[in-house]
Copies of this chain bind each other. A is one copy, B any other.
Amino acid sequence: MSKSEVVELPVLQDGGVVPCCPPITAGELSQADAEKMAAMFKALSDPVRLRLFSKIASHPGGEACVCDIADVGVSQPTVSHHLKKLREAGLLTSERRGTWVYYQVAPSVVAAMAAMLDLRS
């Protein structure tokens, strides 16, 4: 299947600038909004995924090769599984360059999360 499968990004609208959901403190969440936000939080609700995400996010340029981040204490297939989950949640994008596959932090993801938390400073 590779990368052609777009899973209709849960947390970001097409532009990537407008958050999907109103702030969590702005009123009662609709069922649909709650499900979108839950999907995003669920993607970050695993320690392994959190460590993978932070390793990528803290790399220069917000991107890293799998081989650079695979050391998180679980087997290599499991790492691949978690990266796929993060990709499906719209938090990461992936790109093959020759032998290696690079993962990048999807743009505006952090801003979308900030909007959910009502942190328009």
Chain A contacts to B: CB under 8 angstroms = 24-29, 31, 34-35, 37-38, 41-42, 44-51, 53-55, 57-58, 73, 110, 113-114, 117-119, 121
Contacts and interface: CB of A to CB of B under 8 A. Distances in A.
27 contacts: A24-B50, A25-B54, A26-B58, A27-B58, A28-B51, A28-B55, A29-B51, A29-B55, A31-B47, A31-B73, A34-B50, A38-B46, A38-B47, A38-B49, A38-B50, A41-B41, A41-B44, A41-B45, A41-B50, A42-B45, A44-B45, A45-B45, A114-B117, A117-B117, A119-B119, A119-B121, A121-B121
A57 B23 CA distance: 10
B38 A54 contact: no
A118 B109 CA distance: 12
